[in-house]
């Protein structure tokens, strides 16, 4: 059986059980680079690696893994894997996109409701037996409001369906480039597309972020954009924390220049106390759980486990990030060389 290094737990125990039945699994629960490298040195015959955030696959880890042919994240994200260097070394990078799209979309909408309906405040006051809070604190309806989506991928489209067709919101989505496919998908559910990010932030009652973390999106949402939001608007992020300048967002929220924010993701996870969102009353915080419902986790983790073993058995896996490593003309190390 192939030998796999599993860094931290997978998203569902049934996938771990299946993986242990079909591979020799070396489990590493310390996600620091030094600990991972030490594990690779102790087990130099590792052929594949599976990890979940906050673990990272760095250049140093790749250099310490001479026989590794495939690396897979435990979910959709690959920003914690040095894909370029893995590709240079002929290592396949896998992930599991789309399977948690509905789950994450539901979480984004839940955060919208939590903020607009003042659910956290009302819950706290009721626990203090303050029923009269209903007389001077008012919730808001989402119907008729403008939802600005930053991105138009699978998750954003699920959010748009719920909010446009289900809640009667006007939905506008930011795209960097237009295409016939994007326009068609937007038209089908009554969504408008725009390439003007500033306009989106100025005109929206709710901003919801759904873009991947890349070098071009890191820190994209900053004080210039956040400062253009309406004072009664809400900001939602279920994508990646680092696409937002968190210091800028914290200051905007602290000064109550927007009504509130719902945050499921952070630049550092666990989040750093240096930017203390947790002390603000106008923020709803969750620990990066948007995409890990029972249903999505079971499917996602199972797909990851099977993908890695499929690759090691010479099959073409689903959701290969760098398919060029399979090319016979690729100049890096072929994953089938050994």
Catalytic residue among 95, 240, 246, 306: 240
Q: pTM score > 0.75 for this model? A: yes
Non-local (6+) Cβ contacts of 130 within 8 A are: none
Q: What Rg, from alpha-carbon coordinates, does the chain have?
A: 22
Tell me if domain 3-99+295-326 and domain 101-285 are identical in fold.
yes
Per run of 10 residues, the mean pLDDT along the chain (length 338 residues) is: 94 91 96 97 96 93 96 85 96 90 96 98 97 96 98 97 98 96 96 98 98 94 98 98 98 98 96 95 96 90 93 90 77 38
CATH of domain 3-99+295-326: 3.40.50.720
Catalytic residue among 107, 157, 288, 306: 288
CA angle centred on 88, ends 8 and 306, rounded to 5°: 40
Architecture of domain 101-285: 3-Layer(aba) Sandwich (3.40)
Task: Let me know if 269 is a catalytic residue.
Answer: yes
Burial class (CB in 10 A: 0-12, 13-18, 19+), 216: exposed
Tens digits of residue pLDDT in 274-288: 999 999 999 999 999
CA distance 1 to 4: 9
Task: Let me know if 181 is a catalytic residue.
Answer: no
CA 111 to chain centre: 15
Amino acid 114: pLDDT: 98
DSSP, res 133: G
Chain position carrying tokens 């190390």: 333
Domain edges within the chain: 3-99+295-326, 101-285
| Side-chain-side CA neighbours of residue 58 (13 Å) | 12
CA distance 319 to 78: 11
Burial letters 161-192, b for 16+ CB under 10 A, else e: bbbbeebebbbbbbbeeeeeebeebbeeeebe
Amino acid 97: pLDDT: 82
Catalytic residue among 141, 269, 294, 313: 269
């Amino acid at each position: 059986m192939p030998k796999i290094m599993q860094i931290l737990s997978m998203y569902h125990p049934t996938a771990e059980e299946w993986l242990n039945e079909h591979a020799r699994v070396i489990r590493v629960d310390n996600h620091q680079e030094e600990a991972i490298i030490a594990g690779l040195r102790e087990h130099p015959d590792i052929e594949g690696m599976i990890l979940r955030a906050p673990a990272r696959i760095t250049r140093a880890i790749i250099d310490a893994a001479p026989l590794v042919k495939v690396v897979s994240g435990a979910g959709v994200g690959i920003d914690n894997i040095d894909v370029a260097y893995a590709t240079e070394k002929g290592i396949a990078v896998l992930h599991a996109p789309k399977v948690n799209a509905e789950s994450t979309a539901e979480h984004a909408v839940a955060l919208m409701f939590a903020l607009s309906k003042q659910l956290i405040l009302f819950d706290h006051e009721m626990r203090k037996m303050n029923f009269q809070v209903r007389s001077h604190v008012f919730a808001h309806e989402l119907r008729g409001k403008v939802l600005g989506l930053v991105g138009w991928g699978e998750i954003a489209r699920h959010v748009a369906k719920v909010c446009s067709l289900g809640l009667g919101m006007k939905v506008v989505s930011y795209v960097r480039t237009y295409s016939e496919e994007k326009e068609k998908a937007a038209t089908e559910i009554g969504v408008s597309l725009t390439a003007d990010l500033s306009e989106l932030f100025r005109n929206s009652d709710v901003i919801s972020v759904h873009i991947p973390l890349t070098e071009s999106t890191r820190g994209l949402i900053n004080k210039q954009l956040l400062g253009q939001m309406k004072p009664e608007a809400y900001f939602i992020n279920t994508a990646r924390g680092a696409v937002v300048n968190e210091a800028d967002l914290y200051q905007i929220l602290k000064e109550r220049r927007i009504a509130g924010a719902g945050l499921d993701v952070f630049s550092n996870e666990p989040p750093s106390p240096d930017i203390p969102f947790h002390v603000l009353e106008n923020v709803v915080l969750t620990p990066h759980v948007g995409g890990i419902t029972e249903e999505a986790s079971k499917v996602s983790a199972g797909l990851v486990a099977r993908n890695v073993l499929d690759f090691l058995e010479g099959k073409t896996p689903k959701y290969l990030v760098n398919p060029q490593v399979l090319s016979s003309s690729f100049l890096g190390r072929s994953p089938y060389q050994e």
